[in-house]
Structure 1
Amino acid sequence: MEQDQLIILRNTSRVDLSDLFSGRSRSIQSVRASEGINLRLDVESLDKQDLFEVRRDPEVVSIAPPMPIALVKPVASQQTEASPTGVTWGVSVTRASESPFTGKGVTVAVLDSGIDAEHEAFRGIQLVQRDFTGEGNGDNYGHGTHCAGTLFGQPINGLRYSIAPGVQRALIGKVLNGVGGGTTAGIYQALLWAINENAHVISLSLGLDFPGYVNKLVAEKEYPMDLATSKALEAYRANIRLFESLAELTRARGAVFQQGTVVIAAAGNESKRDIKPDYELAVTPPAAADGIISVGALRTDGEPHNALTVADFSNTGVNIAAPGVDIYSAAVGGGYIDMSGTSMATPHVAGVAALWAEKILSETRTVSSTELSARLIGQATKSRIATGVDPLDVGAGLVQAPLS
């Protein structure tokens, strides 16, 4: 009997974590004292009979076939010089440069193409690296290095280009290889790793490669195109459900241990407003999954940055927006480069989340994902957004750092 490879998410705890949100379980304190909170991810080859048995297992939360993932590829950037004002425009409009918080004491995770750990931007930062691609650590693409620089890179020659330069510990999960590809199995494993490493904030600038999966089914399974497309849609839905299950269980786990984790993801760059204003696509997974904060990209026509518009490429239906055009940050191999994309907007939001996490920790010594998400979304502003911008393109508005 033919076997298929499947990703299986199991909750091996002795308590249903979802009960914490419905009031059916014992108190959080009693759960913490007596129950282990264990989430497990397995990749197994199963035939139809095996799958039938696995689905009956009460520990099984969600099942999905591995799908290819790809980085949210940057689009061409026009700017060639850094801001002369001492801070980049992204740091300025998010008001990170005015905040008393820098991300100190907050653990962040960047799950991307890895990092150039030797770059001067990351001097003095504890980088905890783990490879989920089989390629080994390091960044053979440059995407992850740029995103990490925006999140926590150190100032250079008096220029601040990162949102949270006070971050002292960063988790770098390499889930994308040298050509920008990977699988959902790798990203799920990396998410669990980052959660178990107590990340407060996880930044994702990648998406499911639906066309790539259709082509894979045609080439390897010899499916007709219509059948391959339908099968890919099934896998697409199953992977969204797995992302959502993982997000829900992560919130429950955070409630037990009083250690919240927020996951922030790029909305995608597939829209074509430059061709026609209504050539828009909705947010793509994983950003489309419930429990994950989706990020759109904004552009500016220059100082004073008071009429920001949505980037032509930015997908619609987002939760929040951030600077994503002509973003100056670290380049793999040394130096700095401008890039544009929702990939570049996402670490701005992740960085601001780190600032809010530091503020909350200073007040209560613990941070929940619910409170952190609420502060992040609730404090966003539309005051700098140009008149006439579609609310669906910016969500709650421009992300804002805490000012006190």
Structure 2
Amino acid sequence: MVGVAGADFQQDLLFAFGGGDPQITIAVLDGPVDRTHDCFRGARLAPLDTPAAARCAEEFASAQGTHLASLIFGQPCSSVEGVAPLCRGLIAPIFGDDRPGCSQTDLAQAIVMALDHGAHILHISGGLFDGRRQPTAELSAAVALCNDHNALIVAGAGRDGCASLLRRCGAVNLLPVGAIDRNGRLIGGSDASLHEIGIAVPGARLIGATLEGGIGERRGANYSAALIAGIAGLLLGTQTATGRAHDPGAAIEAILGSATPRLAARADECQRAWIGRANVEAAAARLTGVMFDSAATSPFGLWHRALTNAQPSDHATFRPRA
């Protein structure tokens, strides 16, 4: 497998399918987001008043949440461009400043609140939980509600994420994401859940928003998972555009089935990877039965209008980048 830097992977994904469907809602469960950053100007973001949000005054949590959200919702022609800027976003903080990590209670409450506000996809961070690692009844009930709502959960796999915990809660539509460096090595380790159902994507040097209006680089599974959450939003949008109902389970299968084979260093490592736009196009074709014609697209990666029902007004905000 050819090595791909995280920043190159980001650039390759920009404007796929026109940047997303405003009817698709992606919730980011992490830290608070600095919505004054220029990359969020025009983004459809709604902060949720979770219990953790009221306690959070820690700069670290806000810096992480801001970076993650920018990978998804950063607007075109801004300092950080996200992969699904037209999708609706929910910001549901799960990290407070009164304890290290995230409590299962805070996570459960944020999940329920995001679902109540219409989330189709939940990007969940958090590899560090206070207390035991076995799921509580409250968190299991919240995950069961995700199953009832047919929502898709995208989470970091391995030590950097909480995919294993969510699996033990009984999550049905769960996609654990691992990060690989330019040499194809996993960043942050791996675990059984990554081997069972995970996807690996470039996760080093991912460019995102920082506090006070800057940009910076971060690495790790949670950041890679944010990119895949955004792409999952685009794929659900293609289902809508082709007259299909949202099917997160089919989206997961399409993502896994369109992966590039990867030679793993160990038997417990993920064998599947995404390295560029061709994987996204193949996943959309698997999901909808409609072939993506790269030669007939605009520089923004829009569907060929003869193949879809996309409306020109949906993409009026897009213009050539400086």
Above 0.5 in TM-score? yes
Structure-2 residue corresponding to 1:294: 176
Q: Do the aligned partners of 2:181 and 2:202 also contact (CA within 8 Å) in 1?
A: yes
Q: Residues 357, 207 of structure 1: CA spacing in aligned structure 2 closer, same or farther, 3 A cutoff? A: same
SS in 2 for 1:364: coil
2:129 corresponds to 1:202: no
2:83 corresponds to 1:193: no
Cα deviation, residue 121, structure 1: 1.1
Which of these residues, 190, 201, 213, is aligned with residue 334 of structure 1? 213
2:51 corresponds to 1:132: yes
2:252 corresponds to 1:373: yes
1:254-403 aligned within 5 A: 254=149, 260-269=150-159, 284-286=164-166, 289=169, 290-291=171-172, 292-301=174-183, 308-311=184-187, 313-317=188-192, 318=194, 319-382=198-261, 385=262, 387-390=263-266, 392-398=268-274, 400-402=279-281
Cα deviation, residue 393, structure 1: 2.3
Q: Residues 151, 201 of structure 1: CA spacing in aligned structure 2 closer, same or farther, 3 A cutoff? A: same
Which of these residues, 15, 18, 28, is aligned with residue 110 of structure 1? 28
SS in 1 for 2:28: strand
Q: Do the aligned partners of 1:297 and 1:314 also contact (CA within 8 Å) in 2?
A: no
Q: Residues 268, 320 of structure 1: CA spacing in aligned structure 2 closer, same or farther, 3 A cutoff? A: same
Q: Do the aligned partners of 2:264 and 2:270 also contact (CA within 8 Å) in 1?
A: no
- Quick check: which one's helix share is greater? 2
Cα deviation, residue 161, structure 1: 4.5
2:146 corresponds to 1:250: yes
Identical-pair percentage: 22
Cα deviation, residue 248, structure 1: 4.0
SS in 2 for 1:116: coil
Moved more, 96-105 or 143-152: 96-105
2:28 corresponds to 1:149: no
Residues 147-170 of structure 1, C-alpha deviations (whole Å, 9 max, x = no match): 11111212446x764221222x21
Segments of structure 1 that go 5 or more residues without pairing to the other structure are 1-82, 214-231, 255-259, 271-280, 302-307
For the aligned residues, what is the CA RMSD? 3.0
Find the aligned partners of 1:349 and 1:391 in 2 and give their Cα distance.
Answer: 24
Find the aligned partners of 2:101 and 2:200 in 1 and give their Cα distance.
Answer: 25
SS in 1 for 2:59: coil
Q: Residues 346, 127 of structure 1: CA spacing in aligned structure 2 closer, same or farther, 3 A cutoff? A: same
Find the aligned partners of 2:216 and 2:19 in 1 and give their Cα distance.
Answer: 23
Q: Do the aligned partners of 1:110 and 1:172 also contact (CA within 8 Å) in 2?
A: yes
Q: Residues 251, 269 of structure 1: CA spacing in aligned structure 2 closer, same or farther, 3 A cutoff? A: closer
Segments of structure 2 that go 5 or more residues without pairing to the other structure are 285-291, 293-322
Residues 254-311 of structure 1, C-alpha deviations (whole Å, 9 max, x = no match): 3xxxxx41011112446xxxxxxxxxx996423665432211111115xxxxxx3322
Find the aligned partners of 1:242 and 1:375 in 2 and give their Cα distance.
Answer: 31
Q: Residues 330, 139 of structure 1: CA spacing in aligned structure 2 closer, same or farther, 3 A cutoff? A: farther
For 1:135, the aligned partner's letter is A
Which of these residues, 166, 174, 180, is aligned with residue 93 of structure 2? 174
For 2:10, the aligned partner's letter is V
SS in 1 for 2:213: coil
Q: Do the aligned partners of 2:121 and 2:233 also contact (CA within 8 Å) in 1?
A: yes
Q: Residues 155, 282 of structure 1: CA spacing in aligned structure 2 closer, same or farther, 3 A cutoff? A: closer
Structure-2 residue corresponding to 1:163: 83
- Quick check: which one's strand share is greater? 1
- Count how many residue pairs are aligned between Structure 1 and Structure 2: 265
Q: Residues 394, 98 of structure 1: CA spacing in aligned structure 2 closer, same or farther, 3 A cutoff? A: farther
TM-score, normalization by structure 2? 0.72
Cα deviation, residue 125, structure 1: 1.3
